[in-house]
Structure 1
Amino acid sequence: MAGHCWLNGEVVATLPATDRGLHYGDGLFETIRVENNQPVWWLQHLERLLKGCRCLSIVIESGVVEQELKAFITSQIASHGIVKLMVTRGSGGRGYNSTGANHPNRLLLWYPLPKYPVSYFLQGIKLYDCQTRLGQQPVLAGLKHLNRLEQILARQEWTDNQFAEGLMLDLNQHIVEGTMTNIFWVAESEVQTPALTYSGVAGVCRQFVLEQAAQLGLTVKPGEYKVAALARAKEVFVCNSVIGVWPVTGYRHWNWPVGKLTQQLQALINAVMPCERLFSEH
């Protein structure tokens, strides 16, 4: 059974108009890179998805989700790509009251791998200074829920292609994340990153970086950091589960070299999902 969009295991072209994911963003999603017909970091994606479902009181069977995902990937012509997996509460309920919405929907979509300049991976990127601030909601912090309006507003702030990503702060001016990435930097002989206690997405690649940094014997310190913390940084990088790691070489008036840890992490990730597949021709 082929098709670039499946709903609950069946090929579809549309989602029911009554779905609460459309009406209220009542659901979650995972963006999964596929390499050689295998979902990269699938167990980590599934763990985050199940955590989000528990938080939103959406009941799904993990075995069914995994079975459908693998069948969906197998049905594709290409062996490399991106799967977007969405779980919504389904249809039902009056207004914000979800009573009666007892049949969650599982939506799978297939996309080709995105293309980026090779310089993003090798020479690094500049971060745009986003003015859109992230709200604070600790109940939802870390989850990849369907409400992404803050990121959309932030991404609309720049059209200059000298910036590949933008950095977002919260209402208290603490660093949180990029519009589509998590951020790390090395300062004072330790690896620092936002703790994501009140907002932000706990990325799967972020988890990989935290684990690898610890295995390399580095001190890892998640916390609440303001932008001034970057003044002490020796190297900065951003990451997500599609692109892997991009070095950051510029933000505001600061500049950094491509660092040793950044390159080490890139090598580790490239062994799992080669960045070369994302290189554009230009």
Structure 2
Amino acid sequence: MTPRMLVNGLVSEQLPALDRGLAYGDGLFESIRLIGASAPLWSRHMQRLIESCARLQIPAPDTAQLWCEALAVTNDMAQAVVRITITRGSGERGYVLPASPRPTRVVAAFAPPPVVAADYAQGIRMRVCEIRLGEQPLLAGIKHLNRLEQVLARAEWNDPAITEGVLRDSHDRVISATMANLFAVVDGELLTPALDRCGVAGVARAEVLATCPQARIGELTLERLLDASEIFLSSSVRGIVPVRSLDDRSYAPGATTHQLQRHWRNLGLRWSRADE
């Protein structure tokens, strides 16, 4: 389907050639699941968007206006993924911040990705990526527009049986998947990697941590991950997805994964009966 798109509130698919989002990746984005006129994780998305704008020194948009535009682009869609992109707007050539920035606001609706029932019931297959994420604490956690590391990571494989890849930092610490955050049950403890050096702090990850206060954020090596009894991914778009294999190791969805999948359904975040 052709995406429905508003640029600064007007129907358009064009940006100025000098927009800093295009020139420098100077901006951020949110990908939000909508079920009809409901977005159960909306408040978490808006909280991250506002905090990220503050960290990047970009004037934050009006979240009420964003909600109205999200409803406009998803009108008559039973399910959708809305991408909200905020850039610093156009400016003079060079890295100096504009004295009076006029941010660009893009709100677009897309058809949701196809549902594969087996992914939710049995899990997906993953591989370990060779590329390492660069460490930059000033940008860690933000879903900024520069996703080249993820693009190159995804280019490492063409096997359609492999759905995702594990990303590590330059010290071989596990950080995330290419499009999702990662959780593992190791020795009976629920762990998720710390994201204070690199990686995106996902809103689904925040929901999992709020639901499972016993979970621990910390360092996770590849060796410990491979020894996990249970691995799952969290994504605001795809929800809670178990992992059935990582390279040559096999896993099975466990009690924690099933608990969180039920929590997601109770939030109203389901694609169909396929993910029950």
**Which TM-score applies when normalising by structure 2?**
0.93
Q: 1:234 Cα shift?
A: 1.3
Q: 1:277 Cα shift?
A: 7.2
Residue 221 of structure 2 corresponds to which residue in structure 1? Answer: 226
Aligned residues: 271
Q: 1:258 Cα shift?
A: 1.1
Task: Tell whether the 8 Å contact from 2:36 to 2:76 is kept in structure 1 after alignment.
Answer: no
Letter in 2 for 1:225: L
Q: 1:193 Cα shift?
A: 0.7
SS of the residue aligned with 2:77?
coil
Tell me which of 50, 54, 66 is aligned to 1:68.
66
Give structure 1 stretches of 5+ with no counterpart: none
Q: Does 1:7 align with 2:16?
A: no
* Poorly superposed stretches of 4+, deviation over 3 Å: none
Cα deviation digits, residues 63-86 of structure 1 (max 9, x gap): x23323324424523131010000
Equivalent pairs: percent with the same residue? Answer: 38
Distance, in Å, in 2 between the alignment partners of 1:195 and 1:103 is: 34
Residue 48 of structure 2 corresponds to which residue in structure 1? Answer: 48
Residue 18 of structure 1 corresponds to which residue in structure 2? Answer: 18
SS of the residue aligned with 1:133?
strand
Q: 1:21 Cα shift?
A: 0.1
SS of the residue aligned with 1:158?
coil
Distance, in Å, in 1 between the alignment partners of 2:98 and 2:65 is: 28
Task: Tell whether the 8 Å contact from 2:226 to 2:246 is kept in structure 1 after alignment.
Answer: no
**Relative to 1, partners in 2 of residues 1:99 and 1:277: Cα closer, same or farther, differing over 3 Å?**
farther
Residue 236 of structure 1 corresponds to which residue in structure 2? Answer: 231
Task: Tell whether the 8 Å contact from 1:167 to 1:177 is kept in structure 2 after alignment.
Answer: yes
Q: 1:161 Cα shift?
A: 1.2
SS of the residue aligned with 2:146?
coil
More deviation in 85-94 or 25-34?
Answer: 85-94
Residue 149 of structure 2 corresponds to which residue in structure 1? Answer: 150
Residue 29 of structure 2 corresponds to which residue in structure 1? Answer: 29
SS of the residue aligned with 2:31?
strand
Give structure 2 stretches of 5+ with no counterpart: none
Q: 1:185 Cα shift?
A: 0.7
Tell me which of 236, 240, 249 is aligned to 2:244.
249
Distance, in Å, in 1 between the alignment partners of 2:94 and 2:161 is: 43
Cα deviation digits, residues 95-142 of structure 1 (max 9, x gap): 111234510111111101110321111010111211111000011111
Letter in 2 for 1:148: R
Distance, in Å, in 2 between the alignment partners of 1:36 and 1:77 is: 8
Distance, in Å, in 2 between the alignment partners of 1:72 and 1:205 is: 19
Distance, in Å, in 1 between the alignment partners of 2:104 and 2:67 is: 14
Residue 190 of structure 2 corresponds to which residue in structure 1? Answer: 191
Distance, in Å, in 1 between the alignment partners of 2:66 and 2:137 is: 31
Distance, in Å, in 2 between the alignment partners of 1:98 and 1:174 is: 34
**Which TM-score applies when normalising by structure 1?**
0.92
Task: Tell whether the 8 Å contact from 2:26 to 2:87 is kept in structure 1 after alignment.
Answer: yes
Tell me which of 240, 257, 261 is aligned to 1:262.
257
Letter in 1 for 2:140: A
Residue 276 of structure 1 corresponds to which residue in structure 2? Answer: 272
Written as runs of structure 1 = structure 2, the 5 A alignment for 1:162-181 is: 162-181=161-180
Task: Tell whether the 8 Å contact from 1:52 to 1:143 is kept in structure 2 after alignment.
Answer: yes
Task: Tell whether the 8 Å contact from 1:238 to 1:245 is kept in structure 2 after alignment.
Answer: yes
Task: Tell whether the 8 Å contact from 1:234 to 1:256 is kept in structure 2 after alignment.
Answer: yes
